[in-house]
Structure formats: C-alpha cells, structure tokens
Structure 1
Amino acid sequence: MTSIKLKLRMSSNCDEAGILYYQVIHDREVRLVSAGYRIFSCEWDRKHGRIVVSPVCSDIRSGELECIRENVRCGLDRMRDIADVLEASGMPYSAEDIVCRYNETAADVITVFGFIRRKAARLRRMGRNRTAGTYMEALSSLMKFRGYVDFRFNSFDADMIERYEAWMRMRRLCRNTTSFYMRILRTLYNQAVSEGLAREVNPFRNVYTGIDKTAKRAVTLQEIRRIKELDLSGEKGLEFARDIFLLSFCLRGMSFVDLAYLRKTDLSNGFVTYNRRKTGRQLTIRWERHMQLLLDKYNSPDTRYLLPIIVREDGTEERQYRNRMLLINRRLKKVAALAGVHMPLTLYVARHSWASIANAKNIPISVISGAMGHDSESTTQIYLASIQTNTIDEANQSILKDL
C-alpha cells in the first residue's frame, strides 16, 4: 500500500515560513520530496494536512495561498497517478521509483502563471523591462479572473478565453484594454506552442484583438498658458504635477518615462540628448529658458537623474516612476479644474498637444515626426487624426450660432 501526503516542516524560528513537502511511503520505505513552496504555521491545518487561508491575510497573500494550494494539489495528483501506474504494472516498485518518475516529469509540467513569470524574468535579464512589465500586467489580470488558481496549458481553450473577455467587460474595461490583454496572452500562448507546451489551436478566435480608434485629446496654447499662470505655490503636489506637464510640453512632448530616466549627464552644452525608451531612437533638444526655469524649482536628490521622479537607486526605479505617473495624472485633473480646462488632463495630453499646436502652425508633418521621435510619419498622422475633426466641429459650431 502506498501513502502520499502533503506535510509542512516548521521553521525553528516562529517568524519564518516552513517548507512544504510530499511524504511518500511504500512498503515502509519513506521518501520526502520538496513541493517548492514555503508557508507560515498559521497557514497550515496540521490535523487535516492542508493549507488554510487566514481571515487576516491580505488579498495578495490570499491569492498566493490559493495558487500554492492548487499547485500542490496538482503535484499530489501527479504523484498518485504515477503510483497507480506502477501498481497496475504488476511489477515490484519502491517509494524511490515513485519519486524518480515524479522528478523526471516535473520539468514537463509547466503552469500558465509560471510560464508567464519565466518569460517576464527573461525579458528583465535582457533589459526589456517595458515588455516584461506588460507581461506582468496581463498576468495580474488573468490571475484575478482565475481567482489566483493556476492552471496548465491543456485548459487554455477558446471557452476560457471568451469567459475571461466577458469578465473584463463586466468590469467596464473598454475594448482596447481587453484587446491589450488578449494580444499579450496570444503572444505568450504562441511562444508556448513553439516550445511544445501548448496545442497549435487558436483559442483567441472568438475574442476581440483589434484596436479601436480613440479620440485623441489635446489642449490649446491658450489653455496651456492658463495652466502655466496658475499660482500653485501653496499646493506643492499640484505645482510639481503642473510643472512636469509643462516640461513635457516644452521638451516637444517628451513621454513621462523618458522624463523620469533623464540623467544629469544628458544635459550638456545647452542641449539635452537622450534615447527614447520605447524605440531606442536618439533625440537631441536645445535647452531653452522655459525649461531651465522649471528645472531650477527642484533640487534633484543624490541620484544620477535630472528630475526628482526616481529618488532612490535600489532596484525599484520602475515602480517609482509608475507610481509617480499615476499620482501626477490624478493631480493634473485638479490642475485642469483650477485652470478652467474642460478636459481630463494627463501627461499624455502634453505630448499630443505639442503635436497638435505644431501642426496648427503649419509645421510639416515630417518635422513633427522627427521632433517626437516617431519611427514613421504614419505614427504622427495617428496623433494628428483628430485635429481636422476638431476644426470642422468648431466651424459647425460657428454656423449653428447664426441659426
């Protein structure tokens, strides 16, 4: 008779997590196999030999425990399947045989969550942090849909993907957002197919993976002047958000990620030179008086960076700039209200506004494209697609006034 159970080896330090392992007993022979996870004693039901979720656990930890519970359940099922096969063979076998077969097949069983994490980690090692970040965003959304329960690629089918899309739409995510996650998952699924981990089918055939046209938003030069002239000296947070918006505009619509990673050494001899993190293209901008006036208001801390957006160089730089971007965008909504700008103001609006105003001044699209670091003029045309519509709307409004 074979006994296979999940056990927890407690740590001698009560503040440290213990090690989960499988105990295999056959004909009084005992073998132990690490499950690859650690949990705390309060997360373990010793009487029933199972993982429990404490009511005081955070949502993140609860999700992690659900994921661990599902993964170790899969491990137990696989080990018991191996024991059943050996028993049915009629040949003598030992606990060591069960463990050996389990270890031989362990590398072949890769879960979806684990696969995505592995791909994201590889991208980070290659310095492709932006793509790694999008992979982890997609993973976070998928984990929430799954209730943090991991699964294998043989369950990755069209029905599940359709339910996932419906789940996102019920949470009022727009089609472009759901499509964003679907396209990332499709890329990852295709990679799994190429590695022999998934079947060569198309589970995304019934969900939307296109890109809807969206209204591009820009403010006028007069509105930017009103934003610039606001007295925000008593609101340091709002003032900083406003100044970063203005600096982005002055720097030809420089994206926030490029602003955040600007180094002090990038500003030299009256020019700022940097490589766009999105495309790698190098841009050089003449440093003007407006830019210096904004920079003079802020003393950057002891880091290599020009602006106090990333203030610590401790491996959390990407998280710092993302958190600061969210905070600035929230504060820009208040800035817009104070300036009488009837449009949700974001850092992206600064970039689009520069392109729109340049276009209105009859600057050639080829020049605007080069100034913004676009790979082609067609990308710039997308930025400017709404300008003509806005002009027509204004003309129509003036006609209707005469009715």
Structure 2
Amino acid sequence: MASVQVVLRKKGNGQNLYPITIRITKDRKTSYISTGQYIGLKFWDKQNKKVKKSHPNASRINLLILRKLAEANDKLLDAEINEDFISASQVTESVKGKDKIDFFALADMHLDNLKNAEKYSQHLTQKGRVAKFKKFVGKDVLHFKEITIFLLKNFEGYILNQEKRKPRTAVNYMILIRKIYNLAISEGLAEHVNYPFGKGKIQIRIPESDKVGLSIEEVKKLENATNLTIAQQNAVNVWLTSFYFAGIRVSDVLQLRKSDFKDGRLLYRMNKNQKVVSLKVPEKAKVILELYNEPSLCNKDLIFPYLRGTNFNDAKEVLTRIKTTTRTLNRRLEIVAEHLKIDKKLSMHIARHSFGNISGDKIPIQMLQKLYRHSSITTTINYQSSFMKRDTDDALDKVINF
C-alpha cells in the first residue's frame, strides 16, 4: 500500500518559513520530495493541503504541487501495472531526478522566499550577485556538480581582478553560493560528494576590514563649516545627527520622527534588528533638530524632509527611497570633504566609524556595546578593534624607547 501527500514540514528556516514537500509512504517507509518552496504558516491551508490565496504566488506554487503529486502518483501507478517493486525512496529519486533543479533555479526560489518575507534589501543585493555569477558562467542552467573548486577560484579571481572589488565582496559571493548549495543538499537536490566548500577546498574566511573614522579635528570642521550650499549643509546635519547618537544608521536617521523624542531622550526601534533604543539627546543634537522644527520642512512627523511622500506601509518603496537618498547625501558629503580639505572618504556610514574612532579606549567596552546596540560583546570587540590602539601603542613605546 502506498500513499502520496503534500505536507508542510514542521521545521522552519531562519526566516520562519516552512518547506512544502511531497511525502511518499510505501511499505511503512517514508521519503520526501522537495518543491523548493517555503511559506509562512499563516499561508498554509492545512485542510485542503494547499497554499492560501492570500499568498502572492499561491497559484504558481499550487500548480507546482499538483505537478509533483501527479509525477509521484504516475510512477507508483506504472510500477503497479507492471508489477514492479519500487520503494518510497526510488519514487523520490525518479520524480526528483538528479540535478533536475539546477543552481540558478534554486537561487530564484531562494530570492522569491526573501521577497515574500519582505527582506527587500537582502533580495535586491543577492539578486545582483546571482546575476553576476550567471553572467560569469555564461549560461542559464548550471548543475550543482558543475560548481567545482576550479570554477569558484576563477570566479573569485574575476571579482577581485576584473571587477576590481574588495576581498570582502568576493567573500560575500562565496557565502551566497555556499548557502544555495547547502540548501540543495538539505533538500536532496545535490550530492555532498561534489561539495566544493570545506577543508582542502574553498574555505571562506572573512577578511578584517580597515575601518576609517574622522578625528575630533575633522568632526569640528564639519560642525563649523561655512560657505556650504543649503543641500550640502543639510547633508552635514544628517551626518552629525548620526554621529551625535553614537553612529545610528542612515536608514534610522532618515526616519526619525518628532514622536521619537520624549523627555529629552530619543526612543525608537532600529530597522535592522528591531531593538528598542533609548539615548539622551545631546545639546549639539538639539541645536540641529530645532532647525527642522518648522512644519513646512517635514512630512507630518518626520524630522528630516528626504522621505516626504513615501508610503511607509510599502517596505520596498521605503528601501528604494532610503538607498536613493543615501547616495545623494554621500555625493554631497564628498564635495563638503573636498571643500574642508578632509582627505578621508566622507559618507553617511563613516559617522559610525568616527564615533568608534573618537571613543577609542575612552569608554569601557560594555558601555560601547550598549551604545552600538550589539547583542554580543564579541561583536563590539571585533568592531572596535580597528580603533582601540592605546595598548599596542604603549607596548611599542616600551620596547623601542630605550
């Protein structure tokens, strides 16, 4: 007796999405066929064993489920007609087929899952990386067994030498390729024997980043800058606001609202990790915030006017507007840096590094962890290692000053 059913597996991934699979049971043994699709529990119709209409890709996924069910049932029926013995795992292998879903097909499914989970920033970034890898291999179908050490080494060299990108960028590509390959293995779509990552193969090591922040003198130049255009001064004000609040990210600065400030404190929820932040409003920050207190300069409750007219219920639109605004601010800051003779690349992100550079060894690491809003103190130590130089400087002096 054999049965074929579609089931939503109980083990979810890191995004709380659950895999839709075809379960084949024969002679009390069970095997599963992956559809490659992951959905949230709220989108699964348990009674009818299909995706609810409220899911944006319900029709397409349900068609895929029906096709997989039909293939499995056809295989079992053929075996019964021909009186052949066939196990549940044999049905799975026959329907799944070796390398039936290739790397790029699975990558598209992974990207769809990111979009459905409203991880628009990750989706946009990883979509570009997949497209770059596809352009490099020069074909639309790439079987997992074709992803060799030789291919990945050549691709890494292409990113570093032809594209002139930094080592960390090459590492990010490798991390994504490894992630999709691991997904393929976990779903039975690729063989571990061909796995190109690990000891003696491609080993991913995240390089140390050289963080550069402004000095106190350079920040003072920004605070006292003159002869700037209105647009340039506004960019400087946004940068200083980020710096004054311990380097809060530009996406959070642009979305600051008057209602986030109560009793002389900034209270808001970070977009990146949804942590609640409570910080005193420094006097320097109050001066800047007061400049944007005119109702005509803001969109309802917003402090800064850059996201005026944005539909904040549309996460994708918010992300797009923030990226566009950040590029504009960075271009204006580059002009300001040249005007003030600051020879470092001035950008919104460097505000966080500047706070780290100036704080250096002055503040206990536990306090820096709170200001940076890091979950682990190890993250703070690693982040701050580029700026904490006093111990090494003192040690060097003790050796050579004789």
Per the TM superposition, whether the score is higher than 0.5 is yes
Indicate which of 206, 214, 217 corresponds to 2:212. Answer: 217
- DSSP 3-state at the match of 1:335: helix
How far, CA to CA, are the matches of 1:260 and 1:323 in structure 2?
A: 12
How far, CA to CA, are the matches of 2:346 and 2:154 in structure 1?
A: 34
Aligned to 1:204: 197
CA contact (8 A) 2:104 2:140 kept: no
Matched, 1:193 2:190: no
Aligned to 1:277: 271
Residue 117 and residue 287 in structure 1: after superposition, are their counterparts in 2 closer, same or farther (change >3 A)?
A: farther
Aligned to 2:365: 365
Instruction: Give the TM-score normalised by the residue count of structure 1.
Output: 0.63
Instruction: Give the TM-score normalised by the residue count of structure 2.
Output: 0.64
Residue 335 and residue 367 in structure 1: after superposition, are their counterparts in 2 closer, same or farther (change >3 A)?
A: same
CA apart distance, 1:195: 1.6
1:335-376 CA distance string (max 9 Å, x none): 22222222112222211221232335x221111110110122
Aligned to 1:307: 304
How far, CA to CA, are the matches of 1:304 and 1:143 in structure 2?
A: 44
- DSSP 3-state at the match of 2:273: coil
How far, CA to CA, are the matches of 1:396 and 1:341 in structure 2?
A: 29
Structure 2: give runs of 5+ residues left out of the alignment.
1-94
Aligned to 2:375: 375
Indicate which of 230, 247, 251 corresponds to 2:245. Answer: 251
Q: What letter is aligned with 2:241?
A: L
CA apart distance, 1:225: 0.8
Between 305-314 and 387-396, the greater mean CA deviation after superposition: 387-396
Residue 364 and residue 261 in structure 1: after superposition, are their counterparts in 2 closer, same or farther (change >3 A)?
A: same
How far, CA to CA, are the matches of 1:311 and 1:154 in structure 2?
A: 50
**Number of aligned residue pairs:** 294
Higher relative contact order (CA 8 A, sep 6+): 2
Q: What letter is aligned with 1:373?
A: R
Residue 282 and residue 137 in structure 1: after superposition, are their counterparts in 2 closer, same or farther (change >3 A)?
A: farther
Residue 329 and residue 209 in structure 1: after superposition, are their counterparts in 2 closer, same or farther (change >3 A)?
A: farther
1:252-311 CA distance string (max 9 Å, x none): 110122223434432334322222333332211123343233234445553664433433
CA apart distance, 1:388: 4.3
CA RMSD of aligned residues (A): 3.3
Residue 202 and residue 331 in structure 1: after superposition, are their counterparts in 2 closer, same or farther (change >3 A)?
A: farther
Structure 1: give runs of 5+ residues left out of the alignment.
1-103
How far, CA to CA, are the matches of 1:282 and 1:227 in structure 2?
A: 29
Residue 311 and residue 194 in structure 1: after superposition, are their counterparts in 2 closer, same or farther (change >3 A)?
A: farther
Residue 260 and residue 112 in structure 1: after superposition, are their counterparts in 2 closer, same or farther (change >3 A)?
A: farther
Residue 388 and residue 160 in structure 1: after superposition, are their counterparts in 2 closer, same or farther (change >3 A)?
A: same
Residue 267 and residue 120 in structure 1: after superposition, are their counterparts in 2 closer, same or farther (change >3 A)?
A: farther
How far, CA to CA, are the matches of 2:225 and 2:395 in structure 1?
A: 30
Equivalent residue runs for 1:132-143 within 5 Å = 132-143=123-134
Identity of aligned residues (%): 23
CA apart distance, 1:122: 1.8
Aligned to 1:176: 168
